[in-house]
Amino acid sequence: MTRSKRKKDALGSAFVERLLAWYRLARRDLPWRRTRDPYRIWLSETMLQQTRVDTVVPYYERFVARFPSVLALASADEEDVLREWAGLGYYARARNLRRAAAEVVRDHGGELPRDAAALASLPGVGRYTVGALRSIAFGEPAAVVDGNVKRVFARLQAVSAQSDAEVWRLADSLVPEAEPGDWNQALMELGATVCTPRRPACPTCPVASLCAACARGDPERFPAPAKRATVRPVRAVAGLVTRAGRVLLVRRPSRGLLGGLWELPNVEGADPLALVAALRARTGVRTSIGASLGRVRHQFTHRNLALEVLRLDDAGGRLSRAARAEARFCSAADLARLPLSKLTKKALALRSPM
């Protein structure tokens, strides 16, 4: 073994030992850390993708209460699943969870498989989720890499950028045979609570003496900021149609942005006449243009939406038979039951008392 290899192994060993010792004392008490149930760990890891822990906790607790097992989720109606997910965003996660649960029941007897290839074959389960389940739920030495892990590794080595392959190789080399689940959670916990993107708490970091970026005195330089995706401004117009105290909503296609959620009828652009024509073509309901109720803004990943909400006066016309599965006049109870996005809730808040 070369001197550089021995030095690297010693550094890795010290890093792992210190971080695990810190995690045992500093770990946050989170509901999914009180269980070894693979289903609940899978659910939490899916919810935590691109979403903050404090946002996830109440959603996780409500979701588990409503769907306490893989079987319960597999047999649920998609609309019920989306309603429990509504507001958490990235709705493909919920649809994939339900689809994957059905496959687990059908192909694996209702138990999440331990085999990496079988896990990776499930809808929505990628390399990160495979590693999280294998290490946290099954106690197997498998690595995970997320944004927190990438940042910790970049600062540990004071490197501006690394390829995904390089980061995964390092993660694989460090994961211990014993306590792999705690190790992976410790690594992510460090990035989430100490080695944060801004103002990292280096004086309280358990591995600060091993960190090259800390030694340089400029940890925030690492990693180099990623190029931000272009955010496209988009205008759209939505219509509020009421009939006998009920509000007309339409359902979005199952796949794509906000898939499967219910919303006010809308079209991209700023032409109210286009909205009226599209609404009649889709539902059979005739309307005329009323007053503007206001505008709401909503930021999506790659678009900044300005949505004007108009009151559309009901001019008659029954919902067409073809439209009845995807459009309905909704009572207040319906609005409370259906899965609605934050954007739709903001738009509905503009309506005057009926």
Determine whether 45 is an active site residue. yes
Residues 57 and 111: their CA atoms lie apart, in Å, by 24
Would you give the distance in Å from CA 200 to the centre of its chain? 24
Cβ atoms 233, 268 nearer than 8 A: no
Q: Please state, in angstroms and rounded to a whole number, the distance separating the CA atoms of residues 322 and 282.
A: 9
Report residue 10 CA to chain centroid gap.
37
Say how far apart CA 208 and CA 214 lie, in whole Å: 6
C-alpha 297/C-alpha 346 separation (Å) is 9
User: Which is the catalytic residue, given 17, 45, 78, 166?
Assistant: 45
Tell me the two tokens of residue 105: 């029941």
Q: Tell me which residue has tokens 């550089």.
A: 4
Quote the tokens at residue 249: 């909503």
What the block records as the tokens of 198 is 């801004």
Closest by CA to 147, choosing from 130, 121, 171, 116, is: 171
Residues 295, 224 contacting (CB under 8 angstroms): no
Residue 41: alpha-carbon gap to chain centroid: 15
R_g of the chain computed on alpha carbons? 25
**Residues taking part in catalysis:** 45
